[in-house]
Amino acid sequence: MDMTNPLLNIFSLPRFDLFHVEHVEPAIDYLLQESQRSVDNLVGSSLAPTWQNFIEPLESLDNSMERIWGSVSHLDAVKNSDEWHEVYAKCLEKVTSYSTNLGQNTGLFKKYKQLEQGKEYQEYCAAQKKVIENSLRNFRLSGIDLPEQQQQEFKAISLQLSQLTTAFANNILKSTQAWTKNITNVDNLAGIPETSLAMLKQLAEQKNLDGWLVTLDFPSYLAVITYAENRELRAEVYQAFATRSSERANNPEFDNSDNIKQILKLRHQKALLLGFANYAELSLATKMVDTIEQVMSFILDLVERSREQAKQELATLKTFAKQKLLGGGRQDAKLEPWDISFYAEQLKNETLNISQEKLRPYFPVKQCLDGMFTITKILFGVEVRERQGVNVWHEDVRFFDLFNNKNELIASFYLDLFARENKRGGAWMDTVATRWQPSTASLQLPVAYLVCNFTPAVSGKTACLTHNEVTTLFHEFGHGLHHMLTEMVHFEVSGINGVPWDAVELPSQFMENFCWTREGVDLISAHIKTGEVLPDELLQSLQKSRGFQSAMMMLHQLEFSLFDMSAHASYQPDDPQPVLEVSQQIREQVAVIFPPEYNRFPHSFSHIFAGGYAAGYFSYKWAEVLSTDAFSLFEEQGILNQLVGAKFKNTILAKGGSKHPIELFKTFRGREPNVDALLKYSYIV
């Protein structure tokens, strides 16, 4: 490799300080040229394919792609700039073209089939056979069996979809950043907690403005919509947030309307080319669930079980809000969408004597991390230690190593916790390097990125998390553990690789459960002033709050899941139904809360229009059944039971994508999963 380009040095951790825009395209061009040359050599070889002479060279290419292209993609998400995004989008086109060509390479496909039919195949372990099985399936889902003309059509569609989904995500980021509101009278921000006010003041200072700056980044939006007593401000911020990247936004140049139409159209065309009736069928071809009917039945069953309780929860909230509004002299006492979070927080505080801000001082970041790492050590026998001096992309980013009980380094991860400008919203885990060992080289250890968007520390104070942020931290760390505690050495089934999308949330949702137990909270809480753990009365209120409006929250997620599945399963190419109509129909079928006409939630629904959850958003609830049922074994045998923890590590985490997840689950739990566990944890009866 050309070692003068820092992006091409894949034999160490990334040197983010050395990566510049001018390095990106030459590095990607070199990577793709060398990869194509290697593929051509493999296809042209007269040797009978074996694991060592065929699969391992391909794994090496995947590894290089992850290390090099992964760094470019990561920086586009956490340190976005127009210049970087422009070259990223340009290179994405090349990477997509290469990947599509690879999926349609007849010579490679024949080599895989030859390998499957060879004598050596019977001697392979289950993980190796799974790699080959998945590869053959993916070839067929990449159009390998199509005639030449249709292969070219498939390739063109794949390229367009890659460009459109990237544009969709970038429009959300740009639209989010384009709206701000500068407030110079603090009275207009009455009710907003001191921590959030300090954050808004810091945002203003960063822009050389007086007063406070409200933005649509989630910590800012959440602070206003949950706490601001100024109803007009809440309404204004709600509308700006709900119309992001749409024609109703103040900055309609970032409208995603046409992107959505084109994405749905092209996905449908792609599915038809491959012989599926619609994109939903294509999506399910790589998931645990087999049919659209199964998904719909699963979702609608949960709707049926949740709806009456959700109606009751909403009625209680409306009554409470009306009393407050009339008591405040308001004659327009109707509960509006921008009132829901505000009055829900007040109702929770009055009935349970608890709020996220009341909890925040108990969860300083250091204690949360120390406690989370202690839980990891007890359950999985793994110690987490911070390493100083590692090169990072921002001063807030930290780096940690994982050691086993023999004090051997087994994995590492970067931790980027706080929201900031030019950083994509949300929280995610991504991979820097995958655990992998070819027969002729030493073991490559897994490395992960863990990224969140929490409220940053301000004015030199210690950063503390709300309990919601704590559960998000545990969620992403669960994804990280899935990647880092794998024992697989074959690239395509190592960590989260090869894990069906509707099972990949199992470890992440599983880890959240420890944030609600006495045993877990004792380790992750220490009041910022007194050092005391969360008291019993607050913990009991917190546990009860898990059921606060839980049916309304359940319906909210199910509405998203149904919209996603319906938009993809019911698409009619001759007469496509406008996406807002689909959304409204689903809402009328499922919801108890109805947003205003201007709401454009599909336009910022990045999970399905820019992420990997297209016709798969149901995966969150599907995996939640698995995660809650898995955790119930800890409840039965001990929350921090080392034997049960070791069993979870050895069956669920260690096996990666080498076995079907339902088989791994049954090995761990001793039976099929039970949906009642989800309802129990959601306090839905």
Residues tagged active-site: 476
Distance from C-alpha of 494 to C-alpha of 498, rounded to nearest angstrom: 8
**Which residues contact residue 491 at a Cβ distance below 8 angstroms, ignoring those fewer than 6 apart?**
59, 62, 63, 434, 436, 497
**Token digits for 11?**
């034999």
Distance from C-alpha of 544 to C-alpha of 536, rounded to nearest angstrom: 12
**Token digits for 322?**
């009306």
Distance from C-alpha of 335 to C-alpha of 331, rounded to nearest angstrom: 12
The continuous run of DSSP H or E covering 203 comes out as helix 194-206
Q: What's the distance, Cα to Cα, between the start and end of the chain in Å?
A: 60
Q: Which long-range contacts (CB under 8 A, 24 or more apart) does 660-665 make?
A: 660/288, 660/500, 661/288, 661/499, 661/500, 661/503, 661/506, 661/626, 662/288, 662/503, 665/506, 665/626, 665/629, 665/630
Distance from C-alpha of 363 to C-alpha of 374, rounded to nearest angstrom: 15
**Token digits for 450?**
């863990």
**Token digits for 231?**
């109803």
* Beta bridge partner(s), residue 628: none
b/e per residue 86-108 (b: at least 16 CB within 10 A)? ebbeebbebbbbbbbbbbbbeeb
Query: Residue type at 615?
Result: A
Given a contact cutoff of 8 angstroms between Cβ atoms, the answer to whether 624 and 475 are in contact is no
**Which residues contact residue 291 at a Cβ distance below 8 angstroms, ignoring those fewer than 6 apart?**
284
Distance from C-alpha of 75 to C-alpha of 424, rounded to nearest angstrom: 10
Inter-helix orientation angle 231-242/218-227, to 10° = 140
Distance from C-alpha of 230 to C-alpha of 685, rounded to nearest angstrom: 36
Strand segments (E) across 289-391: 383-386
Cβ neighbours of 625 (radius 10 Å): 22
Distance from C-alpha of 632 to C-alpha of 282, rounded to nearest angstrom: 33
At residue 36, what are phi and psi to the nearest 5 degrees? -65, -40
The continuous run of DSSP H or E covering 130 comes out as helix 126-140
Distance from C-alpha of 263 to C-alpha of 396, rounded to nearest angstrom: 36
Distance from C-alpha of 347 to C-alpha of 174, rounded to nearest angstrom: 35
Distance from C-alpha of 448 to C-alpha of 432, rounded to nearest angstrom: 5
The continuous run of DSSP H or E covering 622 comes out as helix 619-637
**Token digits for 598?**
């201007």
Alpha-carbon distance values, 429 to 25, 173, 365, 414, 450 (Å): 25, 19, 18, 10, 5
**Token digits for 684?**
């839905």
Distance from C-alpha of 65 to C-alpha of 59, rounded to nearest angstrom: 10
